[in-house]
Amino acid sequence: MKSWLKDAKHVNDLGGVGHLKSNIPWEEEERREAVYWERWLAKLKKPIPVNEEHRPFFRSGMHDSWLVGSERKGGEYNLTVSCIFATVFAENLGNILGLHPKGLHWHFAGPFRVILSCHDIYYQRTADLDPSGRLKFNRIEIPEFKSFEQGTFLFDWFEEQDDRIQWVVNLWIKGENVYVLTDCKSLSATDLREVDLVKAFGPNVAKVWADVRTATERDWHYELVHSEIQKSMIVHGLTAQDFDTTNFRYAFREPYI
């Protein structure tokens, strides 16, 4: 059976939150927004149709992560992001170790990769929007990361049809909403964050990363992450000299304006 994604013409056909306003009375606009929002909240309560170990990375688990790569090969598709949580962790550890570049406004570290993969693809297309919200063809090109305006993962959600999964991904690329629409048999996530963190900080970072992930599972704001890194270093008897930062790099540097 043909994938319903092929027939989607407008962004509001994709099952997300309808966010484009029409030239209609505000009462009707408000009613429609309430319907969209209720539908979205109901969707978030449904089971995530991937294996349990991969679920934390889906249904917007990678929100605000910056884009690293987008690649389709045959029936497989990989969308690679740099995890925002791992970036916050690395920035805090970098500051604690005295690596913070002075006089710089932004100092994102990374990438610390998670690869989101589609397997046995039945149908796929990528689209952006015209001013009315209609979907039009877009060929994704991931720019070099210089700010979150350049390329960011926003949201993703699921539908299911004919024993297949329809995965809708909303990206933000150069100031535009871009969508990856994939109908496939299964999805998975490959977590390379620890691999990349060890490359940046040496093998002792693995202990600290594990501790901080456990302590900040539901809340990972900067101050808490900073505090939990310090606690973990004390528990394991680690000092700045116990980290190998030879390969640590900030992703880009932008001076104060």
Contact assessment for residue 134 and residue 241, using Cβ atoms and an 8 Å cutoff: no
pTM of the predicted protein model: 0.90
The region, left, alpha or beta by phi > 0 then psi within -120 to 50, assigned to residue 252 is beta
**What pLDDT is attached to residue 74?**
95
For residue 180 the two structure tokens come to: 């990856």
**What pLDDT is attached to residue 255?**
47
Grouping H, G, I as helix, E, B as strand and the rest as coil, residue 41 is: helix
As a whole number of angstroms, the distance between CA 169 and CA 131 comes to 20
Contact assessment for residue 173 and residue 129, using Cβ atoms and an 8 Å cutoff: no
**What pLDDT is attached to residue 17?**
72
List the chain pLDDT tens, one digit each, 257 residues. 789 999 999 998 998 776 666 677 888 878 888 888 888 888 888 899 999 999 999 999 999 999 999 999 999 999 999 999 999 999 899 989 988 765 555 567 789 999 999 999 999 999 999 988 899 999 998 877 776 678 999 999 999 999 999 999 999 998 899 999 999 999 999 999 999 999 999 999 999 999 999 998 777 788 899 999 999 999 999 999 999 999 988 766 554 44
